[in-house]
Amino acid sequence: MSGLNDQQRAAVTHLDTPLLVLAGAGSGKTRVITEKIAWMIDRDHYGASEIAAITFTNKAAKEMRQRVGQRIKRKRAEGLTICTFHSLGWQILRADPEACERRKGMSILDQHAAGDLVRELLPSGAKNDLVYAVMNGISRYKDAGLEPGHALAQARDDNDARAAEIYRDYQQRLVSLNAVDFDDLIALPAKLLEDPVIRTRWRRRLKYLLVDEYQDTSAAQYRLLRQLVGDVGAMTAVGDDDQSIYGWRGARPENLSGLKADYPNLRVVKLEQNYRSAGKILEAANAVIACNPHEFEKKLWSQHGPGEDIRVVEYADDTDESEGIARDILTLFHGGRARWGEMAVLYRSNFQARAIELQLRENGIPYVVSGGPSWFDAREIRDGLAYLRVLANPDDNPAFMRVINTPRRGFGSTAMARLATYADAVGKSLFEAGLDELFQNELPQPAARALRGFTNVLIDFSDRLERNGIGEAYRELLDHIGYIDWLIEQDDDPKKGERRKRNLDDLAGWIERLGEDCDSTEELIARVSLAAGPDDDRNEGADLVRLMTLHAAKGLEFKHVWLAGCEEGLLPHQRSIDDDQIEEERRLMYVGITRAERALTISYCQRRKRGGEMMSCEPSRFLDEMPETVVDWPSRHGAKETSSEDAKANIAALKALLEG
Ligand code: ATP
Ligand code: MG
């Protein structure tokens, strides 16, 4: 524990009552969690298998595992749970699937598959907006712990009633598919733990809980925790109300103050020293967040020197901005001042990534976009994962439907509709119904042959999977069905085909690696499905420039940070301006500023293309909230902007210099 300050040490060693560590960014909250885990195990207060630490993202869980791994021997850490709420929920569910009307081998539906299911329940031709709205509504029911029956009973008008009916049908479908969606991974276990037998079992198993980013827990997550921790409150929660940025998704920062009501003996520890950022960065962050009203006062100070001014740069448009950022990155890298992986470009909205990506690629800068539309959205990956899911659980209808005619086997949509109707009538999954000879005989010959062929492949490969392990069986399967050749034929552009093939190779490699860590196929599929959530962490640790949204950056730190598009309408977002919800946007700005260790560059454009139209932009109001003494903002005083031509000339000159 050497190296911790007094408050941190107090937080680490406090076990008698529940503990809340409430502190600003970079003050070592997450560090307290890792140190505390190591300390509790070292001192034999709890065995590793009795402790669970819960993080907000897969990425954070991985990092925490690494940090704990450096502190205690592998053997002593065996059985320790460090995971997200979703994967903890999954472990609870899969121990008692019957208690929530599921069976062994249940699937986790990703957002796409859940969306497809919802679409089936809506009148044909329903627009995407409606599908999202319905999904949102279902999410909210689940977060509130409202089951379909209750939702129906509470409906105030026809619209409510219709929504509740769709919710009911959706849940019934999930049960018959032996599947759950992401929200169920929290809501169902919270409900399950109301059963005293199950609850006691889990409380005996997990005796101490630590929760990071507590300010962003949702109502359902709160219930889940409450059930696990019980009245004794063997728990450490760490959080920062100023970093609550998921209000739009149901997070409840009031869960922080709720802890005091739940546990009158709650101990609160505040941390005040920031270890992450240079002085000026911290000063700017403090000044910006001070503009929000505060329930808990926090002061942060730093022992680091003041560091450089925060650079605020004005650009003509987003191409110009992206070029400027690429140029900065090249200069730092080639000047030996930063590795690629020490630099990150952050932005408010996913669409901003495109322009930046383009410039990074053009300039040969290795990068990865995390948290955005991802690798997992590519067609070949979704097909590949559907094959994996249907192998493990042939009753997974959405996966079955996705791949039965991919590659094309002559089982078209008419045959599919007949199979679906038949399966419905006999109350079986598509797979089981498809095995039925009576049904097969009713189909035209080619379709029947295709169906038999497909079900045979599934049966055959489920066997091989048991015998040879998943990695090998999976590669053999893709080979056997000729998927890769088919994929390459689909694209006119051979480059695209090659890229898809590489993607699929990556997928197989990843599955192989995961397979080595997993005891069962079921666990592997669950890990794959959980990783395919919004924070894709496969590139963790690689030396690449990171591009991500502010939301995805929470909890992370980088030596050099660029915050792009600091404009009214973007950050703060127009929707939040219209709804008068600036405070959450300001917290996002605070999260962004506090990711930087040494240097921060903030930029905005004079014009930006949005929705196909060129719009003129104003610098974000948050820029004016930063003290003049810590920013270097030449154009604030009307200095000349650098033009796109200048930027290009600069890059060329720089490259020539470096290469020459
Ligand atoms: P955030 O609110 O952004 O999640 P945090 O409060 O969780 O931040 P950490 O990520 O735990 O902060 O710590 C920030 C940085 O400071 C890390 O690099 C961490 O290793 C370092 N740090 C924390 N405590 C100390 C300490 N006592 N001495 C030296 N470095 C420390
Ligand atoms: Mg943290």
Tokens 């599929």 -> residue: 525
Ligand 1, pocket residues at CB < 6 Å: 3-5, 8, 23, 25-31, 240, 243, 275-276, 555, 557, 594
Per residue in 366-381, pLDDT (tens digit) is 998 876 556 677 888 8
pLDDT of residue 541: 66
Distance from residue 273's CA to the centre of ligand 1 (Å): 9
Nearest CA to 329 out of 34, 105, 558 is that of 558
Distance from residue 577's CA to the centre of ligand 2 (Å): 28
Distance from residue 23's CA to the centre of ligand 2 (Å): 10
H or E segment and range at residue 267: strand 267-271
Q: Is pLDDT above 70 for 138?
A: yes
Q: Which CATH number applies to 376-532: 3.40.50.2020, 3.30.420.40, 2.40.50.1040, 1.10.486.10?
A: 1.10.486.10
Report the residue count for the chain.
Answer: 660
Q: Is pLDDT above 90 for 621?
A: yes
Pairing of strands 267-271, 179-180: unpaired
Rounded average pLDDT over 9-31: 95
| 243 carries an active-site annotation | yes
Residue 133 vs residues 321, 349, 371: alpha-carbon distances, Å: 34, 20, 22
Pocket test for ligand 1, best of 36, 275, 296 (most atoms within 8 A of CB): 275
Topology classification of domain 107-177: Arc Repressor Mutant, subunit A (1.10.10)
Using DSSP's 3-state secondary structure scheme, residue 422 falls into helix
Q: Which of 118-122, 253-257, 363-367, 562-566 has the lowest mean pLDDT?
A: 253-257
pLDDT of residue 640: 46
> Residue 505's Cα: distance from chain center in Å?
23
Rounded average pLDDT over 174-187: 90
Distance in angstroms between the alpha carbons of the first and the last residue of the chain: 50
Give me the amino acid identity at 134. V
Q: Which ligand is nearest the CA of 302, by number?
A: 1
List, by residue range, all CATH 1.10.486.10 domains of the chain.
Answer: 376-532
Q: How many CB atoms within 10 Å of residue 463?
A: 11
Among 7, 29, 252, 283, the one annotated catalytic = 29
pLDDT of residue 412: 81
Rounded average pLDDT over 250-274: 86
Q: Which ligand is nearest the CA of 212, by number?
A: 2
Q: Is pLDDT above 70 for 61?
A: yes
Among 143, 181, 184, 213, the one annotated catalytic = 213
Per residue in 550-567, pLDDT (tens digit) is 998 999 999 999 999 999
Rounded (10°) angle between helices 445-468 and 413-426: 70
Class for domain 301-372+542-655, per CATH? alpha beta
Q: Which ligand is nearest the CA of 11, by number?
A: 1
Q: Is pLDDT above 50 for 598?
A: yes
Among protein residues, the one whose CA lies closest to atom 8 of ligand 1? 26
| 34 carries an active-site annotation | no
Per residue in 183-225, pLDDT (tens digit) is 999 999 999 999 999 999 999 999 999 999 999 999 999 999 9
Distance from residue 122's CA to the centre of ligand 2 (Å): 41
Distance from residue 283's CA to the centre of ligand 2 (Å): 19
| 29 carries an active-site annotation | yes
The DSSP secondary structure of 564-619, one letter per residue, reads ---BTBBTTBHHHHHTT-HHHHHHHHHHHHTTEEEEEEEEEESEEEETTEEEE--B
**At 645, is the pLDDT very low, low, confident or very high (cuts 50, 70, 90)?**
low
CATH architecture of the region 6-90+188-271: 3-Layer(aba) Sandwich (3.40)
Enumerate the β-bridge partners of residue 344. Answer: 546, 561
What residues flank ion ligand 2 with Cβ within 5 A? 29-30, 555
pLDDT of residue 654: 55
Pairing of strands 631-632, 310-315: parallel
Among 94, 382, 389, 595, the one annotated catalytic = 595
Atom of ligand 1 minimally distant from the CA of 275: 16
List, by residue range, all CATH 3.40.50.300 domains of the chain.
Answer: 6-90+188-271, 301-372+542-655
Among protein residues, the one whose CA lies closest to atom 26 of ligand 1? 4
Q: Percentage of residues in the chain with pLDDT exceeding 90?
A: 51
| 581 carries an active-site annotation | no
Q: Which ligand is nearest the CA of 242, by number?
A: 1
Atom of ligand 1 minimally distant from the CA of 32: 11
Distance from residue 562's CA to the centre of ligand 2 (Å): 20
Among protein residues, the one whose CA lies closest to atom 31 of ligand 1? 275
**At 389, is the pLDDT very low, low, confident or very high (cuts 50, 70, 90)?**
confident
Among 215, 243, 319, 359, the one annotated catalytic = 243
Among protein residues, the one whose CA lies closest to atom 13 of ligand 1? 28
Is residue 356 within 8 Å of residue 347, measured between CB atoms?
yes
Rounded average pLDDT over 255-265: 86
Tokens 């030996």 -> residue: 336
| 241 carries an active-site annotation | no
ipTM score here? Answer: 0.99
The DSSP secondary structure of 45-76, one letter per residue, reads SS-GGGEEEEESSHHHHHHHHHHHHHHS-TTT
